[in-house]
Every structure is written in structure tokens, then in C-alpha cells.
Amino acid sequence: MSADLSRLQDLIDAFSRQTIVVLGDLVADEFVFGEISRVSREAPVLILRHRETQLVPGGGANAANNLADLGAKVLPVGVVGNDAAGQALVEYFRRKRVATSGILRVAGWTTPRKTRYLAGFAHTARQQVLRVDCEPDARALPAKVRAALVKKARGFTRRASAALVSDYGFGVASPAAVSAMRGKLVLLDSRFALLDYKGSGITAATPNEPEIEALHHTRIGTDTKRLEALGAQTLRAMKLEALLVTRGKDGMALFLRGRKPVHIPVYGTDQALDVTGAGDTVIAVFTLALAAGGTFTEAAHLANYAGGIVVMKRGTATVTREELVRAIQADLSGSSTK
């Protein structure tokens, strides 16, 4: 099933009129760049001459950042620690004029941080050689903080077009918090606990294929029929209106109640440059397109464009309305010359 490309452009035009709540784990993605100097005498490892360090929003913060770059008003709800990474995330959003009143500073909490070390020789592309993760204990999040998050989420959702839930397993997102947002369009990206949200009021979810495989303890591979069976099973089990499964180089599969699955081929090339944070971009565009009045199929096609664009950028990146429009116009030009 193809999408009306001119209709997709109309949806993009409506992005700036939407307000989206993002409830989720706010992660700091840190990139440390260096040049390979030599092999260490102490151990068979490379010595990197440090060039620069960049810190950008990751996880739920990346979803919020994508929404902001797409022109929406964003209301993030989450926690950070009293540490440098947490302060950097808050300052990043303030510079972008994104509201930070829903971001709680919690003493003793560690802001999740993923540090990627990228190395290369002069005038060559830098490759990731190491990743170090600093993670909080989700069980350590105080009950009063969880209650405050629920209250923030409920209050913000009253004045929002839709809500996006980004669960990376660090304790901020929960079925209780999601239930507080009932009555609104609620989209979920949950890395480890998709079925925990059954009955909590989720409208649609956007797992990737490996997450569906882990959920059902099986492997899909090239078996499209198995994918369709597992997608339909997940849709029913969670009582969703829609399930969008991202499949990397194989595109996406959209499952809807009472309809055949919609398979969407990958946009652009199947040779991704960097998939870091691509799922955050996909759910951001999917949510925003639905909030703007798009159907699930239209929203999935727009999210597919966004995913194809962002995986051709290095690091944790975002897409813009202008990039989406250019991609659609290129397809329109191509179809008009056939």
C-alpha cells in the first residue's frame, strides 16, 4: 500500500501546531573522538590522541530532541542526576527553548550515559572502538519521585496533542504513569517490557524486530509469515490499535486491527551509516504525524522516510521538516517522470 505523498506534506506542515509530552528515560549520549597515535607498550591496545568530546540527548531525550527539531512544542518528563551529564542535558534543552519543568533533578541518581569512543587516522572516517555505559539502578528511584512523575505526566498530557513513552529500562516510564495519560493518543517504545503495558491505555507501539523476537523467544529471519503471526499476536495481546515493527534494511511492518499487515520497504539505501538512536526518530515522527491527524499508514510512511534519513547521519541525530519534505518531493518528482 502506497501513501499519498502530497498528503504527507500536509501533515508535515501541521507538525508545528502540535504539543507532545515525552515521558521516558533521559539518556546522555557522549561521543569521544580521537586519532590513533600508536599501539600501547602496556597492553595490545590503541592509544588515542583526544580531539573532542560531544554530548547530545539520547533515549527519551533523543525522541524529545527530534520532536523539537521537527517544530513541535515538547514537554519532556523524566529525571536526571545531580551530575555533569544531567546538567548538560538540561542546559541543552534550555538552549533549544524546550520546557524543562518536567525534568526532575534527583540527588544520588545517576544520569544514564552511553560513552562511545571513536578512533581513526588523520583524514579517515572514525570508527567506534569502545562503548562504556553508566547506568542507574531503576529500583533506586524513590517512590515520591515516581509519584511526582505521574503527576507531571498527567498535568502535561491535559494540554498535549499526544504522548510519547520511551522506556529504556531505567525506571522512569511505567504502566502506572502511562495510565495517568489515558484518553490521549499514547505511543510506546519499550526496549525490555512491552507486555508490561498491556491494559494501560497504549494506542500503538514501535518495537524493532529483535525486540519482537526476544518477546516471543524465537527468531524471524526471512520468514515473513512468522513475522506476521507474531505481530498480530502482539497487537492482540496488548490490545493496541496499531503495532509498527521496524526491520532495519527490510523496512517496516505495520499491523492494524482487522486488516492485513502493511509492509513498507526501506527508504533510501539498505546500507546504513549509523543506526544509533534511529528508533527514537521513528517514534517521534510516527507520534507527530498521528497527532497532526494522519492515519496509522500515513504516519508509518513518514516515519519510514525519517528512519531512512537519520541512519545516514553519524552519531545520535535528528531529522527536520525540511529533510522530510525534500525526501517526499524527490519521490514525487520520480513518480511524475515514470
Confirm whether 280 is a catalytic residue: yes
Contact 178, 186 (CB under 8 A): yes
Q: Which three cell numbers stand for residue 125?
A: 572516517
Gap between the Cα atoms of 322 and 324, Å rounded: 5
| Burial 203-222, CB ≥16 within 10 A → b, else e | bbbbbbbebbbebeeeebee
Q: How many CB atoms lie within 10 A of CB 43?
A: 6
Region of residue 218 (left: phi > 0; alpha: psi -120 to 50; beta: else): beta
Looking at the DSSP bridge assignments, the partners of residue 195 are: none
Q: Using only C-alpha atoms, what is the Rg of the chain?
A: 20
Catalytic residue among 10, 189, 280, 331: 280
Element (H, E) at 242: strand 242-246
Identity of the residue numbered 149: L
Inter-axis angle of helices 296-310 and 5-13, nearest 10: 80
Please give the positions annotated as active site: 280
